[in-house]
Chain A
Amino acid sequence: MDLFISLFINGLATGMLIFLLAAGLTLIFGLMDVLNFAHGGLFVWGAYSGIFVYTWSGSFIVGILGAIVTGFVLGWITEKLIITPVYGNHVQQILITLGFMLVLSECIKVVFGPNSIPVDVPSYLAGSWEIGEVIVIKYRIFIIVIGLVIFGIFQYVLKKTKIGLIVRAGVMDKEMVQVLGINIKRVFLFVFMTGSAMAAFGGMLMAPYSGVIYAEMGMEYAILGFIVVVIGGMGSFSGSLMAAILVGLAGSFMAYYVPYLSLAVNMILMAIVLIFRPQGLFTNAKEG
């Protein structure tokens, strides 16, 4: 039982990190049909710049803010420079964003050096609680709580604010939002920057969790992010949380019980979803 709970918490924490990456992806795709393979690059940049600021300032919170600011700025640059010229053309989007992803990864090596960097959990989040037989690592609980809080905030913004209404409507039918005279490009830039900041934030939280950061980690997590987007339903925000948790749990349990399947399990999940429910598991046609 204690093992089960440990694996469960571990999977949940991983799921939350993937959610932070996938939530931006799903809204970016849902709103403007943009396939953004550079999203993982923002994840790594968030991790590196956040850890850089953390080391420099000594404060983990300031480090997180640094990562978020980096995400916003890089998101703005990416949207203006890379995405705007290729609206509506998926092939060009895949090529240029994949290319930009590589550029972002290589720039990491130029700026921060090619070696992987070890990262420690800040002292007040280090350690664990012992509840009966079960050992609960504090930092994992921290990630789960933060993930749920972020989900709550975004759910509120989507359901209860004017901009949220525009985003949800835009995911359903962006042409018609434009017919109403709403400048959807402006809304999209906002969504893109927010999604990028979330990815950067996710990268920053990931760093102490995995204990080490390296330039290629963006690609690995971006793939998980895309799997989550497909499983959860393109454009579905709440779907991306459910799917991310599912992927996180599947990875965690498989790695223990059927280790040789742990890498394949997400692909298998995605294949099953695509065969039986191609619109996504947790969506009734893009409800957001």
Chain B
Amino acid sequence: MEPIIRTENLSIQFGGHRAVDGVNFQMQAKHFKSIIGPNGAGKTTFFNLLSGELKPTEGEIFLKGESLADDSSIERTRKGLGRSFQITNVFPNLTVLENVRLAVQSREKVRFNFYKHYLQYKSITNEAVEILGQVLLDNKVNAVASQLSHGEKRKLEIAMLLALNTEILLLDEPTAGMSLEEVPAILEVIRSIKEQGDKTILLIEHKMDMILDLSDSIMVLFNGKLLADGTPSEIMDNETVQNAYLGGLYDEQLIKP
């Protein structure tokens, strides 16, 4: 089967440093893959290359067999590749509902007929409310986004990503900066998206228990190189991976629950 997304020798060089170095990866549709690796391994850079924030020095990305080399990040979103950011990114003075509405309506072209589309306005609102239910924010619909807790903002951000309705979701550390009490809820949200079964999800995380719980497969990045890619049990038993982490480059966040 044609992978939904794959990369060929994907590399980027910043000065003398190859942050991502010849990565060949591929993913089937509706698969859940996590990316692990110590800090500075190139995980977020890899995401930035996929989403189009950065241009590769070498190599190419293919979405359903089609090269994305000439597509901006906006065009990639339109083609089905949506990403979340490591830092929360919501409109602070809009309400939760308005934030999601904006993402829902961004799927269509900007048109200037304000008066006619009252019914459509309603259907957009309904869709936004439904998505907010899915991320467990339905009790905060009319709250102003700046009043939310950090964890709620991350949920809102995921809701906006869902509202873009892309086939592939790139989730960059959804639990970053969260308090321990907030983590289970976000885990629930991601699990429910996975169980809905229509999304291909690529997740960067440090919380190993969460990764083992959710992932169909795990890929390991190390110094920008793809070190291993396999099922969770394969990765846990992989000697290269163990050596990479235990050989002085051990990252305590990786194994801490």
A77 to B238, CA, bound (A): 65
CB of A157 closer than 8 Å to a CB of B: yes
Task: Pick the contact of A181: B112, B114, B164 (CB < 8 A).
Answer: B164
| Interface-located stretch among B97-105, B170-178, B196-204, B221-229 | B97-105
- Chain B residues with Cβ below 8 Å from A172 are 91-94
- Chain B residues with Cβ below 8 Å from A176 are 89, 91
| Interface-located stretch among A143-151, A158-166, A269-277 | A158-166
Q: Do B117 and A162 touch (CB < 8 A)?
A: yes
Task: Pick the contact of B78: A164, A169, A181, A187 (CB < 8 A).
Answer: A181
Q: Do B105 and A162 touch (CB < 8 A)?
A: yes
Q: Do A163 and B112 touch (CB < 8 A)?
A: yes
- Chain B residues with Cβ below 8 Å from A157 are 114
Task: Pick the contact of B102: A169, A285, A288 (CB < 8 A).
Answer: A169
Of the four ranges (under 10, 10 to 19, 20 to 34, 35 or more), the interface on chain A belongs to 20 to 34
A169 to B101, CA, bound (A): 11
Q: Do A163 and B94 touch (CB < 8 A)?
A: no
CB of A33 closer than 8 Å to a CB of B: no
What is the total of A-B residue contacts with beta carbons within 8 Å? 69
Q: Do A187 and B91 touch (CB < 8 A)?
A: no
Interface size on B, residues (CB 8 A): 26
- Chain B residues with Cβ below 8 Å from A166 are 102, 105, 110
A186 to B112, CA, bound (A): 10
Query: Which B residues lie at the A interface, using CB under 8 A?
Result: 73-74, 77-78, 89, 91-94, 98, 101-103, 105-107, 109-112, 114, 117, 121, 124, 160, 164
Besides the known contacts A165-B102, A180-B103, 17 further A-B residue pairs in the complex with CB atoms under 8 A apart: A157-B114, A162-B114, A163-B111, A165-B101, A168-B98, A169-B94, A169-B98, A169-B102, A172-B91, A176-B89, A177-B102, A179-B74, A180-B77, A180-B106, A180-B164, A182-B102, A183-B109
27 sampled A-B residue pairs with Cβ under 8 A: A157-B114, A162-B101, A162-B114, A162-B117, A163-B111, A163-B112, A163-B114, A165-B101, A165-B105, A168-B93, A169-B91, A169-B98, A173-B91, A179-B73, A180-B77, A180-B102, A180-B103, A180-B106, A180-B160, A181-B78, A181-B106, A181-B107, A181-B164, A187-B110, A284-B93, A287-B93, A288-B93
